[in-house]
Amino acid sequence: MDDCLEVVADADRFLREVRLARGRAETTTKAYAEGVSLFLRWCEATRRDWRTAAQDMGLFMLWLRWTPGNGGRRQNVVPGPGSKPVRGESRINKILTAVRMFISHAVANNAAPGWVLEQIYELGDNLDLPTEARGEGGGMRYRMRARHRVDEPETAVDRASDEEVVAMFLACRSARDRLTLLLLTRVGLRPGQVAGLHRSDLHLVIDSKALGCDIEGAHVHITRRQNENGAWSKSKKSWAMPVDFLVVQAFDQYALERHDVLGSAGSDFALVNLFRPPYGSPISTDAIGELCESLSRRAGLGRMVTPRMGRHAMASNVVDAGGSLDEVQALLGQKSPESPRPYLHPKAARLRAAFERVASPREFVEASR
């Protein structure tokens, strides 16, 4: 909406398509909405028509980097080179992605002239793509490549160490928090998947045939569905994630805790509010992030262990225990065989053992004698 609380029709149509027609997550749609809003506010502040403002995208990038929030309308001195940027490289690139999609949608619906696409895309080859992304058949192919992008420093997401996870577990003050932490670090679920779990998704018995499920052993079903708390599974596929005795025991303790507070009441969601109103309502993904931040602080870790770092820890532990890449892919519910690789963080001991398995040149000399 604009400053007069009137709906911006073209932006609203684009966001409805992203959310409803393309099936993107609510959080993704929200991120796109924020990016498009910044672009429209920049156009308004600089008296540009958003339909043709793409020819000045470089100025928009400069505005994003140095202009404070609130639409850039704060009456203060705007920082410049030499000071800390208002928005980082990753944030700017995400905003540019949303703007490109918005403009492309407008062109496709005759809301913007077609020549605008030449301002945001250029014709490029596929030589800069990974080998697996080039397709079969060999040869060079052409594609539309984004013109505007900020170089991002390569920063890999670290894993949570086993010592950090144990310290956070000991810092938990409730059975619900312990179960939540195990689902993140032991099972490797994303916050949206944890917050979106229903009680019917938990099959924590040896034989679940009575529940209409033929999967053996204790497991959790991960399903993408619309949830009232906005929780959303990023993976489109549904799969069953095996769990061990630690998770089953944690759930049993949580079930008793929940019954003491709510009795048989509460929603069908697995994890609900027990210690502050509205009691019995499902927890949110934001609450899971706040829990990890609080546990990291109470455990005295010296850094914040995020839910994503817990997922990385789970995948790395599977490999350290002898698991293969396809097993990690299946456990994480990922589609591509290459998707698990960023989640693997070999322990130093495993790397040293791999290095020491390489034969010494002395062995070849001694064998030749």
pTM of the model: 0.74
pLDDT of residue 366: 65
Q: Does residue 257 surpass a pLDDT of 50?
A: yes
Q: What's the rounded mean pLDDT across residues 26-47?
A: 91
Higher pLDDT, 23 or 168: 168
Q: Are strands 142-146 and 121-125 parallel, antiparallel or unpaired?
A: antiparallel
Nearest to 284 by CA among 191, 185, 222: 191
Q: State phi, psi for 222 to the nearest 5 degrees.
A: -105, 115
Length of the chain: 369
Per-residue pLDDT reduced to its tens digit, 197-250: 999 999 999 999 988 999 999 999 999 888 999 898 888 889 999 999 999 999
Q: State phi, psi for 8 to the nearest 5 degrees.
A: -80, 105
Nearest to 334 by CA among 203, 162, 180, 193: 193
pLDDT of residue 125: 59
Nearest to 315 by CA among 333, 296, 289: 333
Q: Does residue 126 surpass a pLDDT of 60?
A: no
Using CA atoms, how far apart are residues 124 and 45, in angstroms rounded to an integer?
33
Using CA atoms, how far apart are residues 49 and 39, in angstroms rounded to an integer?
11
